Amino acid sequence: MYEFVTGPLAWIAFGIFIIGMTVKVISVIRLASKKDKVVFNHWSWGWSFRSVYRWLIPFGSRSMREKPVLTIVFFVFHVCLLAVPIFLLGHNILWDERWGITWWSFSETSADYLTLLLMAAAIVLILRRIVLPEVRIVTTAYDYLLLAIAVAPFVTGYFAYHQWFDYKTVLIIHILCGEIMLIAIPFTKLSHMILFFFTRAHIGSEMGERRGAKTW
Amino acid sequence: MPEPAIDTDFIRERLAFFKGARFKTWLDICAHCGYCADSCFFYTAHDKDPKYMPAYKIMQTLGKLYKKNGNVTREELKGIADIAYGDCTACRRCSLYCPFGIEPALMIAAVRGMCCSQGLAPPALMEAAKNHLEFGNQMAITTEDMVETCVWMEEENEEEMPGMKIPVDKEGCDTLYVLNAREVKYYPQDIAEAAMIFHAAGENWTFPSMGWDMTNLGMFAGHAKIMAHAAKLCYDAAERLGVKRIFTSE
């Protein structure tokens, strides 16, 4: 089972993720050039870049500055979500064994704390969906499912690292959760991972190049 | 008389028309995060009543139409029109607060078009919008009245600023001045004040006898034909008079 989930299934998951996202990006650009010509007549790389950049740095936009707590939680969540799996020592060893590639990795303790931090951020995001009326009213079951898909690999990974329950089973569940997330990205709202750059670049050009207004 | 049934085929056609890369991506990735709420003055002015938050308004209008693929009853479409016309001014402020830069205002405009096509635009707005077709401005002012107002304003300010003219339909100018119909109807001194600035600046400008109203109620109502007509009048005037640029008040 372990051989299967880290072998063929891993290839399938990464394949669907990479091909799925490529197809998604190409189809968005093709559809835009067919039905959204207005996007291109005021396209500006300068405004696009600044619009993306300002929203990638903490407190880079007015919207973020007005909600400081939420901004910190969002950044902790997203940074940990990307950094932990890529720089985890265990993952690096696995890649080294399989493909002979290595790079810098976190110490095991810091990865442990970052995972805790991510789970804490996720709890805040769930609580805010329940507590705040303006977020509750737009929240659907789908939003909770997405959070579950994104957080499950970290919860199971935490269990596996601390060897709670049966290590082998937990590890396989952990790998499956990670693969589910990779496969889900191109087909769900998680595709904002890439599409974020497109929509932000568009609004930056739309407001900036067309009327000289900042979108941050 | 029973109210006519909703032309669902037409609404479906519109829904397909609008589903380009922008609408599709926006609807696909909105994370329901709630950043847009505080940007909306409808929301803050109603003591933060969540039903006025932008993302929710889109879910209740365009979202509902896509979900039901246009199969809505007249009652449902009335509810949608109430939100599209009554709870949003399409000011686009929420786009500046959205992490993804989603544009609810454009989606509301699309919804208004569908509501308007089924006769659900606010009657007073439609009445004024139709003036664009008949008179070329939203306030039903005739060209005669407009020219008369310009002459009156010239005379009124002769002492204060001798030589100041409000040139109507002068060809070959640099600047075409267009304004809000309300200025001609209720605040003619606004035309005079603009003319004073042009005069003092030595600007070579003109005021068109047709196509001088730069407001566009067709756009607010979602009536594509009137919207295009009102905008075209203004561009036609610019081409007819051979100006270099169009200047708008407000």
- Contact at 8 Å (CB) between A137 and B50? yes
Residue from A44, A22, A25, A58 nearest A203 by CA: A44
Tell me which residues of chain A have a pLDDT lower than 50. none
Half-sphere CA count of B37, side-chain side, radius 13 A: 20
Of B25, B95, B97, Cβ closest to residue A198: B25
Phi-psi category of residue B196: left, alpha or beta, with phi > 0 → left and psi -120 to 50 → alpha: alpha
B96 vs A215: CB contact, 8 Å cut-off?
yes
Supply the ipTM of this predicted assembly.
0.90
A134 vs B53: CB contact, 8 Å cut-off?
yes
- Residue B120 has phi, psi (to 5 degrees) of -110, 10
The tens digit of pLDDT for each residue in A62-109 reads: 999 999 999 999 999 999 999 999 898 888 888 888 888 888 888 888
Chain B contact for A54 (CB, 8 A cutoff): no
Q: Is 1.10.3470 the CATH number for A2-211?
A: no
Chain B contact for A35 (CB, 8 A cutoff): yes
Chain A residues whose beta carbon lies within 8 Å of the beta carbon of residue B30? 189
In this prediction, residue A95 carries a pLDDT of 84
What the block records as the tokens of A200 is: 């932000």
Q: What is the CATH class of B8-120?
A: mainly alpha
Give the start-to-end residue ranges of the domains of chain B: 8-120, 125-248
In one-letter notation, the amino acid at residue A7 is: G
Alpha-carbon distance of B217 to B61, in angstroms, equals: 21
Ordered DSSP codes for B25-53: HHHHH-----TTGGG-HHHHHTTT-GGGS
Q: Which helix (H) or strand (E) holds B206?
A: strand B205-206
Chain B contact for A141 (CB, 8 A cutoff): no
A202 vs B97: CB contact, 8 Å cut-off?
no
Tell me which residues of chain B have a pLDDT lower than 50. none
B34 vs A32: CB contact, 8 Å cut-off?
no
CA A123 to chain centre: 16
What the block records as the tokens of A56 is: 């990638």
- What DSSP state is assigned to residue A191? G
What percent of chain B shows pLDDT beyond 90?
A: 85
* Residue of chain A whose Cα is closest to the Cα of B16: A35
* Residue of chain A whose Cα is closest to the Cα of B32: A138
For residue B176, how many other CB atoms are within 10 A of its CB?
Answer: 26
In this prediction, residue B1 carries a pLDDT of 58
